[in-house]
Each structure stands twice: as C-alpha cells, then as structure tokens.
C-alpha cells in the first residue's frame, strides 16, 4: 500500500479530535494551546533490536513508543496533549502489521488523552525505527532536574529493576515472568504522580537509564550529591527473591534501564503530603536517601557499609 493510502486508511482517524491536524492532509498542523498553558515537548524513539526484540508484536511497539515519551512528560509534571509520529519501516512489513500497530496506538491515545497531529512514514531496509514527538501541557511551573537542596529526601516511585530483569530473562532464553515482561514492554508512565508533585518536589527525573545513572544526572543538574541506602530500594517480590539468591542481581534495580519510575526530591517538611500523594496515586513512594553537599553518590548497605558503585547506566542492554 502506498504511503498516502496507509496514512488515510490507518492514521487519519487518529487525528480526528484535533481540527488543526486537517486529518493529516496538509503540509503541517496548526495548533493553539489552551489559554494560560505552556507546551512541553519531548521526543524519543523505539528501534527494533535495541528497545524491543525484533519480533515484538505491533502493540508492543505502540505501547513502548508512547510510554517512553509520556514518562518524560511525567517527569516534568505535564499533561499529555498532542503527538507527531515518524515511522521508518522495512519494505516487508505488511499492512496487517501496520493496521495492528495503528489500532494499538488508538488505544494508547484513548488511555492517555492524546491526539495524532502529524508525522512522516518512510520505507528502508533498516530495522523498524519509530520516533514519537509528544506535546504536553503545563501551567507556569514544571518539575525540573535542577532544584534539589541539601538535606532533601530522595524518593522513588514503584519498584526498580523489573524491566531489566525481564530483558535479562529474554536474552538468556529463560521463562519470562509475565508481570515483569509487561513492565518491560508496556511501562506505566507516572503522569498523575508527576502532576501532583508540581510545587511539592524540588526536583524530578524519570528513570530510563537506571537508578544510579539518572540520579547522577539529577545531582549534576542540582550541583549536589546523595547518600542512598541500597537495602531499602523498593523491589518486586520476584526481583527481591533473585537478589536473595545472588547479590550480583542488585545490578538490576541499581543500574538496569527501562524502569520509567519517577525519582524526585522534596524537603522533609513535605513527608506527610507525599504520603497522601502515595495514597492518592496508589503507588509506593519510597524514601531511599538524602541529598548532601558532598558531590556524587554514596551507596550503603543496611549495616552502613559503603558499597563500591558499579558502572553507571546501560551495561546490561
């Protein structure tokens, strides 16, 4: 099917709720943000063989592509609004595949309240490479990475290392724990949490490259350091069980990627409010450490012994 037909058949309907998209028939879209709101823009890609297995299903591509982007909006405290989509597909990818992808995208739009307003499709021999540019809305204030103060508490949402362990299972042809696999292919962007933290958290970042790597980014932006206690990191029971058998498995929650949880800092005066937010969003928010004037990350175990830091970041991809 020709590019124009694919757009008309599968993607035009996804743009119907935004008149300024012109049903994807013009050269560009024309958008007006709601009065008093700023537009927050982010972009991210999903490449077969890097961010998902080459044989992942069409709906996995739709979910991961959308949610990776939305996690960045969550980290800013923004609300999803509109998006643009660039598809680079190998010629062998049939219309069935595209139809399933578009159907999954429609479901993601419905779940997160977004509308497609433009994009591009090309065909080449390279593996599937999709890029989404997401526009969110925010009031004057957004969350930023650079506001952490000395003595602030350091928090993390949800559990860490689930997706990294699922990927490890995939790569080693092990039986995959379904709950962890879902965390890998369809992470839940912490949008509601991010929005509720505006005005309460002093800084925030989403964890995409691993706890230590992303905390390090936040600390550098804020020009501070942190003391962390490894043994209080929030873990899925399955990951906790693996760690109980093999301490090397601490690498999954510490430096595995793809968590898409929020890491944030707040003054100790906000503890009661943050507990209330945890209740409201029905998500554990765990206090894992404290901000220090000494730069860098100091990691300790439950006994207070310092643990030498492993390489930060992507080493387990």
How far CA 252 is from CA of 9, 238, 259, 294, 311, in Å, comes to 42, 12, 10, 26, 12
Sheet holding 296-300, edge to edge: 203-207, 261-266, 153-157, 285-292, 225-229, 296-300
| Min dist. Cβ of residue 106 to Mg ion (A) | 25
Can you tell me the distance from the alpha carbon of 234 to that of 213, in angstroms, rounded to the nearest whole number? 17
Choice between 152 and 206, CB closer to Mg ion: 206
Other CB atoms within a 10 A radius of the CB of residue 261 amount to 31
Q: Total number of residues binding Mg ion (CB under 5 A)?
A: 2
Q: Which of residues 62-101 bind Mg ion (CB under 5 A)?
A: 72
Closest contact distance (angstroms) between CB of 42 and Mg ion is: 8
Of the candidates 108, 153, 162, 206, which one interacts with Mg ion according to CB under 5 A?
206
Nearer to Mg ion, 72 or 152 (CB): 72
Q: For residues 194 and 255, give the distance between their C-alpha atoms in angstroms, rounded to a whole number.
A: 22
CB nearer Mg ion, residue 72 or residue 153: 72
Q: For the CB of residue 291, give the shortest distance to Mg ion in the complex, in Å.
A: 20
Neighbouring CB atoms inside 10 A of 126's CB total 12
Least Cβ distance, residue 246 to Mg ion (angstroms): 29
Closest CA to 228 of 293, 158, 155, 278: 155
Nearer to Mg ion, 72 or 261 (CB): 72
* Nearer to Mg ion among residue 71 and residue 89 (C-beta): 71
Question: Whole-number minimum distance, CB 72 to Mg ion, in Å?
Answer: 4
Q: Residue 249 and residue 182: Cα distance in Å, rounded? A: 20
**Residue 216 — φ and ψ, nearest 5°?**
-60, -40
Which CB, 72 or 162, lies closer to Mg ion?
A: 72
Question: Which residue(s) pair with 47 in the sheet?
Answer: 129
| Cβ at position 43, least distance to Mg ion in Å | 11
Asked if 277 contacts 197 with a C-beta cutoff of 8 angstroms, the reply is yes
Q: What are the residues whose beta carbons fall under 8 Å from the beta carbon of 248, sequence distance 6 or more?
A: none
What are the strands of the beta sheet with 129-138, ordered from one edge?
38-47, 129-138, 79-89, 115-123
Q: Does 259 bind Mg ion (CB under 5 A)?
A: no
| CB-based contact 228:300 (threshold 8 Å) | yes
Contact range with Mg ion by CB under 5 A, out of 27-35, 110-118, 205-213, 255-263: 205-213
Region near Mg ion per CB under 5 A, out of 128-136, 203-211, 259-267, 283-291 = 203-211
Judged by DSSP in three states, 127 sits in coil
153-192 footprint of Mg ion as x/- string (CB under 5 A):
----------------------------------------
Is the Cβ of residue 72 or residue 108 nearer to Mg ion in the bound state? 72
Q: Please, which residue, 162 or 206, has the CB nearer to Mg ion?
A: 206
Q: Considering the complex, what minimum distance in angstroms separates the CB of residue 290 from Mg ion?
A: 23
Q: In angstroms, give the least distance from the CB of 71 to Mg ion.
A: 6
- Per DSSP, helices labelled H in the chain are 3-6, 58-76, 95-112, 162-171, 178-185, 191-197, 211-222, 237-245, 251-255, 271-281
- Which residues form the interface with Mg ion (CB under 5 A)? 72, 206
């Amino acid at each position: 099917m020709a590019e124009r037909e694919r757009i008309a058949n599968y993607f035009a309907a996804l743009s119907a709720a935004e008149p300024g998209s012109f049903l994807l028939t013009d050269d560009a879209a024309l958008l007006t943000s709601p009065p008093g709101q700023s537009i927050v823009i982010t972009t991210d890609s999903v490449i077969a063989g890097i961010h998902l297995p080459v044989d992942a299903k069409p709906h996995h591509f739709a979910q991961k592509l959308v949610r990776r982007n939305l996690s960045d909006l969550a980290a800013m405290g923004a609300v999803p609004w509109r998006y643009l989509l660039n598809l680079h597909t190998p010629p062998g990818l049939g219309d069935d595949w595209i139809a399933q992808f578009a159907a999954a995208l429609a479901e993601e739009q419905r779940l997160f309240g977004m509308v497609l307003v433009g994009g591009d499709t090309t065909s080449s021999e390279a593996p599937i490479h999709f890029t989404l540019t997401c526009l969110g809305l925010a009031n004057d204030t957004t969350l930023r990475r650079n506001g952490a103060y000395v003595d602030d508490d350091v928090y993390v949402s949800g559990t860490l290392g689930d997706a990294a362990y699922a990927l490890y299972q995939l790569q080693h042809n092990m039986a995959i724990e379904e709950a962890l696999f879902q965390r890998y292919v369809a992470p839940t962007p912490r949008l509601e949490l991010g929005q509720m933290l505006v005005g309460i958290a002093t800084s925030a970042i989403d964890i995409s490259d691993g706890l230590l790597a992303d905390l390090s980014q936040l600390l550098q932006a804020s020009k501070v350091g942190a003391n962390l206690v490894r043994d209080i990191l929030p873990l899925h029971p399955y990951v906790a069980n693996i760690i109980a058998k093999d301490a090397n498995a601490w690498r999954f929650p510490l430096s595995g990627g793809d968590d898409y949880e929020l890491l944030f800092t707040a003054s100790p005066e906000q503890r009661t409010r943050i507990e209330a937010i945890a209740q409201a969003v029905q998500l554990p928010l765990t206090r894992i450490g404290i901000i220090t004037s000494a730069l860098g990350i100091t990691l300790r175990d439950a006994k207070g012994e310092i643990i030498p830091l492993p390489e930060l970041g992507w080493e387990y991809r």
